[in-house]
């Protein structure tokens, strides 16, 4: 029962670099989400996907790109990283609407 | 836009004490969830409430959804060190897009 896994767990990069965070779920859940967690802000939704090839913006999408070519994968790309994107990023999946969201263990990203 | 405010932000209590965490909003939600998060891990769902005035109990934890579905509370009776963690509320009107509160960091001292 692998569930939902995120990689890498930790990443340090420099401003201007491109970085991709990976998320993989084994449940064939329809919905997948990317959040960032910052002190004082809680969890904020970046992007979400209702199914393969369907993605939509959340509360804070600027500077991020997502894709979902396969149901099980939902990578998040920072095309040109900025220091304000230093955060802990969480991926989550959900079977259908109103069902529980299941979270990965997060990726701690530091941008120098 | 932070739609959900939690209070208190930090709480440190002795084992055996009772506590209440509040989650307030000016917006109405069709459902509200409570999660607990431990360091280095993702949030884990504790409960979902969907009906105004609804009360749900999970062992020593009691969750209440306000009558107007704008607020919620989490009450813990006789807190244990294992209750230590970050408690997050999250509201939704669509069932698949949730707005999270700022969180309450609870420390229970043995």
Mean of pLDDT values over B68-97: 92
Distance separating alpha carbons of residues A42 and B25, to the nearest angstrom: 15
- What pLDDT is attached to residue B5? 92
- What pLDDT is attached to residue A107? 97
- What pLDDT is attached to residue B36? 96
Mean of pLDDT values over A57-85: 96
Residues of B with CB under 8 A from a CB of A: 1-2, 4, 6, 31, 33, 40-45, 48, 50, 88, 90, 92, 94-103
Interface test mutation site (partner A, options B43, B45, B46, B89, max chain A beta carbons within 10 A): B43
Judge: B1–A58 Cβ closer than 8 Å, yes or no: no
Q: Which residues of B touch A48 (CB under 8 A)?
A: 96-97
According to DSSP, the residues that pair with B13 across neighbouring strands are B108
Q: Could you tell me the pLDDT band of residue B96, with boundaries at 50, 70 and 90?
A: confident
Whether pLDDT at B1 is above 60: no
Judge: A42–B100 Cβ closer than 8 Å, yes or no: yes
- What pLDDT is attached to residue A2? 64
- What pLDDT is attached to residue B55? 97
A42 vs B40, B50, B102: nearest CB = B102
Judge: B2–A98 Cβ closer than 8 Å, yes or no: no
Query: What DSSP letter does each residue of B65-109 carry, written as one string?
Result: E-TTSSEEEEEESS--GGG-EEEEEEEESSSS-EEE---EEEEEE
Whole-number average pLDDT of chain A: 94
Strand A107-111, strand A10-13: pairing? parallel
Q: Could you tell me the pLDDT band of residue A40, with boundaries at 50, 70 and 90?
A: confident
| Reduced 3-state DSSP string for chain A | CCCEEEECCEEEECCCCCEEEEEEECCCCCEEEEEEEECCCEEEEEEEEEECCEEEECCCCCCEEECCCCCCECCEEECCCCHHHCEEEEEEEECCCCCCEEECCCEEEEEC
Distance separating alpha carbons of residues A20 and B1, to the nearest angstrom: 26
């Amino acid at each position: 029962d692998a569930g939902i896994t995120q990689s890498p767990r930790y990443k340090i990069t420099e401003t201007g670099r491109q970085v991709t965070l990976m998320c993989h779920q084994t449940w064939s859940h329809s919905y997948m989400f990317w959040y960032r967690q910052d002190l004082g802000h809680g969890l904020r939704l970046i992007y979400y996907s209702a199914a393969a090839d369907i993605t939509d913006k959340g509360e804070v999408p600027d500077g991020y790109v997502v894709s979902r070519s396969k149901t099980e994968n939902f990578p998040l790309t920072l095309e040109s990283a900025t220091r304000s994107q230093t955060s802990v990023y969480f991926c989550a999946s959900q079977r259908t609407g109103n069902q529980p969201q299941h979270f990965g263990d997060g990726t701690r990203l530091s941008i120098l | 836009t932070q739609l959900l405010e939690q209070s208190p932000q930090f709480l440190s209590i002795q084992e055996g004490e009772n506590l209440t965490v509040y989650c307030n909003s000016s917006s109405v939600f069709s459902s509200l969830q409570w999660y607990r998060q431990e360091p280095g891990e993702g949030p884990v769902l504790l409960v979902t409430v969907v009906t105004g005035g609804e009360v749900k109990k999970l062992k020593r934890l009691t969750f209440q959804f306000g009558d107007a579905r704008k607020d919620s509370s989490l009450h813990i009776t006789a807190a244990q060190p294992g209750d230590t963690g970050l408690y997050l509320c999250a509201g939704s009107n669509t069932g698949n897009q949730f707005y999270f509160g700022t969180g309450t960091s609870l420390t229970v001292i043995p």
